[in-house]
Amino acid sequence: MNVNVSANVLTACRPWSRVDIAAHAARDIPEGYYVNLGIGIPVLVADHIPADREVIIHSENGVLGMGPAPAPDKINRWLINAGKQYVTLVPGGCYMHHADSFAVIRGGHLDLCVLGAFQVAENGDLANWATSASDSTPAVGGAMDLAAGAKAIWVLMEHTTKSGESRLKHRCTYPLTAPGVVKRVYTNLAVLDVTDDGFVVREMAPGLTLEALQDVTEARLRIAN
């Protein structure tokens, strides 16, 4: 499941897997957080939160306290997540309608939303809903509400596109989901904070150097003090 990065970097390091990326984010979520997990790598985060740490997961289709996928013989066919997969409800969870669910989101009650993205810019701009301004059937879903509403936005994504283009940009070239909202990015190559001075590298994949990472990154990188 490792992703496509330019050859020099691949030979220099062991990139993290999608599961590793999710596990890194899971490790950093404090107990008691209310968290929404987007479609893609983010939904994997739930499986990596330590069993002794209570984190409450929200799904924008009106589920607060979402649990893991059910056993095949225990499916509640009225209970799905935002990705339209069958899920479960944990004890203490509850249901709400869409206006209430988005009041939770827009009202700033989620401590964190973990999203996938096409691009993140060094000013925190997020592009995760459309890959061109002329997309004829764009599908925004709840992405803009989550990006504008949650107290913090983390992005989990592969560091580059399949063709090797950096997803960490000086400025996003794809249509924005929200400006200036991303606080942290977890990729297959690094964990980075978005600061007033742009991306700051907190952690790199084993064997990777800042120079090699910069080589495959359009945005300018700095190392954490």
Label residues 88-97 b or e (16+ Cβ within 10 Å = b).
bbeeeeeeee
From residue 149 to residue 188, the character string flagging contacts with another protein as x (rule: CB under 8 A) and all else as - is: x-------------------------xxxxx---------
Instruction: Return the amino acid letter for 112.
Output: L
Closest to 142 (Cα-Cα) out of 134, 153, 131, 132 = 153
Q: Is 1 exposed, middle or buried (0-12, 13-18, 19+ CB in 10 A)?
A: exposed
> What residues numbered 5-64 form the site for another protein, per CB under 8 A?
31-32, 34, 54, 56, 58-64
Question: Among residues 148 and 210, whose Cβ is nearest to another protein?
Answer: 148
Is 60 catalytic? The answer is yes
Q: 82 or 213: whose CB is closer to another protein? A: 82
Q: How far is the CB of 209 from another protein (least distance, A)?
A: 35
Judged by CB, which is closer to another protein: 15, or 142?
A: 142
- Binding-site residue total for another protein (CB under 8 A)? 60
| Partners of 113 in the β-ladder | 36, 153
d(CA 70, CA 53): 20
The amino acid at residue 153 is I
Q: Which residues bind another protein (CB under 8 A)?
A: 31-32, 34, 54, 56, 58-65, 76-81, 84-86, 89, 91-99, 101-110, 133, 136-145, 148-149, 175-179
